[in-house]
Structure 1
Amino acid sequence: MKLAEPEYERGVFINCPFNEDYQPLFEAVLFAVYQCGFVPHSSLEVDDSSQVRIEKITTAIGACRLAVHDISRVELDAATLLPRFNMPLELGIFLGAKSFGGGMQKRKACVILDTERYRFTRFISDIAGQDIRAHEADPARAIEQVRNFLGTHIPPGTLLPSGRTIWERYAEFRAELGGNCRRMRLDPVRLSFRDLTTLITGWLDEHPLPA
């Protein structure tokens, strides 16, 4: 089904690890995307056991013109000693959709994040021509990189709040998260994707930036 143009234009596919170690970066990226006026999408947002994971990924990618791909956790698993290639796979699917898709899909754009700017050349040399952005495993830097990327995909003459402003607002959101979870009878350490995005959008609605 073809999505309405505004929904596709504002959609941002988030490709990153979904584990406890990465959670601070994941939450910061989600907050930044919403603060910039876009809508993050992920394979986590639909819980459907009848749909295999790769279908969830391709559906989410197809629904979004933009994407944030974080390849910083392509490293050996401590238990198996094998590398984790989910993130490069999803990046490849996104680039393939842009190259071989029709219509709106050809207008896709993305930012690729890593801990260091050129570290990726040691394990994914095929994307050596891409402009990789470093976040240094720092949520504040990740927010800045996402903000700068999304700032190139807004109407001319409009501006986004600075990365520092978004980081400060994210810190306020985090400080209030425990209390908000208690009021809504949620466990702050076991939030689903939908729980987290609802909490973020609710907080942003209650704390608008000054006009």
Structure 2
Amino acid sequence: MLVNPVAENVFGTMGLVCWTVQLIPQLWKSWREKSTEGLSPWLVLLWAISSPFLGAYAIILNLNVPLILEPQLFGTFCLVSWCQCHHYAGKRSWAVAAAMTLAVALLLAGFEVALVYAVRTTFNEGSQAALRATQFLGIFGSVLLGLGLLPQYVEIWRRREVVGISCLLLMLDMLGGVCMDLSLAFKNQLDIVTGITYSLIVVSP
């Protein structure tokens, strides 16, 4: 395997940029149209819930900085989109929608911190139980990403067309996955679970 820390961080940063801004076109589209019609709130909520699992996984394994930052930023933008869903589709006031979103954000942040502190020390000591727990975090986070797509597919099937989803979001999502996979390819040890996660993101849209 070709180890290249510079290439690892360059591709990781490119992937981070793509995934950081990927939901911005969707947020802008929803705000401009004052509607989240066709966008399943379960999609962005399940994606947001996956972020503490994937974030804790990246921190415990001490992956490169872009790969650690990505789940945090991704989860944040997902929650902003979820807030829009509650305001535009759920007809809740901005204050109520924002309060709900903040409560979920604090819950997920605390949960991620708890996961890291519960596993990292024993993981660094070489505990096999901690290793399996860490693998579970990565796998379960990936499963949540996949499950998040199901309600959106149901929404598309129900309408018989794609409505409310930004095409630019899908393009940046796939490009980010490719860059993140390339970043992992230049790491001294290939992380299979993370690689599968990012590959699923590339093929799922």
| Larger RCO, structure (CA 8 Å, separation 6 or more) | 2
Structure 2 length as normaliser, TM-score? 0.27
Higher strand share: 1
More helix by share: 2
Normalized against structure 1, the TM-score is what? 0.27
